Amino acid sequence: MYFEQFFLGCLAHDSYMLASAGEAVVVDPQRDVDIYLRAAEQHGVRIRHIFETHLHADFVSGHKELAARTGATIYIGPNGGARIAHVEVHDGFELRLGTVTIKVLETPGHTPESICLVVTDQEKSRDPWAVLTGDTLFLGDVGRPDLSKTHTPVVLAGMLYDSLQNKLLKLGDDVIVYPAHGAGSLCGRNMRAERSSTMRTERLTNYALQIETREEFIRQLTTNLPPRPEYFPQDAAINREGAPALSELPTLESIPAQQLQSLLLEGVIALDVRSGDEFASGHVQGSIGIPLTGEFASWAGIVLGLSARPVLIAASAEQLSEARTRLARVGIDDIRGYLQGGIEGWTKAGLALAELPQITPQVLNERLRTGKSQLLDVRRKPEWEAGHIEGATWAPLDDFKGALPEIDRKAPIAVICKGGYRSLIACSLLQRAGFGNVTNVKGGFATWEKARLPFVTEAVVAA
């Protein structure tokens, strides 16, 4: 058997290909599907089958394009309302490829249509070898139960408990667990960063599998859920129908600097994808900075939305192409164009650049001590509760699209997150909204902690 895991870092997404007897299966494909076609050619197999463990909400699947290019059949669980051509699979459905058997387990809970795939390779053993768990079971966590329009979180959490107890926990200790996401995904809240685990390890370490009663499981799963991005239901809807092929997206328009200046006055969004330091050194006034490093696609979806139609500002043609692909992965297909000549084209047109000051946590500490700055913390709630700087205002970046934080626009504002990535995005949004004295804390709270600077946890001062 050939088996490969494909990890997409910017979405913390895992997809899979397995093959036997020249026939291949792809599970939970990402939008840009050439990666699977190249792997199939390299290993001399044909992609004949595509499984979706559920209709994903955090990214746009490539199932439609992959099926069109290979003739493969798409398999999806029941109760999802999928309208793309597919085979609906239920408990006990089996697909055989040479020595390999893939058996479907219906595991509703994260979504009503969620399934898991139990893989047995007769060359290894008659017993199951691995289970591809989608978003039902993560490493250290389970899927969030609040992504359905037809089922309440309480109902889904109860279904998830039953799926875990009656299906997955019946598997042997040595069965390898391969989920669809890892640490960084918003489909759960406590995932580990490893790429695989075993049922034994999850039984011993996964908090959700330690909960003794169904009632307590429901309570914990529906309490303090991470924020649900606005684009999640939209991505799920796209996946029900199937997204167009990336090759069908129109060619990007080259937009001269003067034209972009006029568009900005009309409220058009300019999205700068260069590094944080490049953005800080000089950027188009009013542009939003989301560096390609980090969770670019997710944050673009969260702070811009799928209908933003941004103009891209990049440092190279390669960066521009990468940005467009990553945006398409979350469903931002309609790009207005790109700044002709990038930042150099802007300055050659005689237009001025704005800057974003950056300071270290040590400098921030001195400014706070002398009362020279207010502090805005844009991390998520669990991070804030685990430790924050006394006197800071808390306003998670996830909420900026709905409403900017209520802080003094006239006083200097320092913005902090864990490492400086989210705070830079927040600073650019504040600058775009007219906040005139904004500073990014480079290195963020993680560097503040390493420097042993003071912070509070539940009103207790930490040394």
Torsion of CA 30, 33, 39, 42, to 10 degrees: 180
Task: Give 125-135 pLDDT, tens digit per residue.
Answer: 999 999 999 99
Task: Give 383-393 pLDDT, tens digit per residue.
Answer: 999 999 999 99
Task: Give 233-252 pLDDT, tens digit per residue.
Answer: 999 999 999 999 999 999 99
Domains of the chain, earliest start first: 2-241 (3.60.15.10), 249-348 (3.40.250.10), 358-462 (3.40.250.10)
pTM, full prediction: 0.94
Environment class of residue 331 by beta-carbon count within 10 Å: exposed (0-12), middle (13-18) or buried (19+)? Answer: buried
Give the pLDDT confidence score for residue 458 in this predicted structure.
65
Q: Which of 310, 227, 275, 267 is nearest to 424 (CA)?
A: 275
Task: Give 21-52 pLDDT, tens digit per residue.
Answer: 999 999 999 999 999 999 999 999 999 999 99
Task: Give 53-97 pLDDT, tens digit per residue.
Answer: 999 999 999 999 999 999 999 999 999 999 999 999 999 999 999
Q: Which of 258, 288, 222, 262 is nearest to 428 (CA)?
A: 288
Tokens of residue 8, six digits? 């997409």
Tokens of residue 412, six digits? 């200097």
Please compute the mean of the pLDDT values over residues 303-328 and round it to a whole number. 97
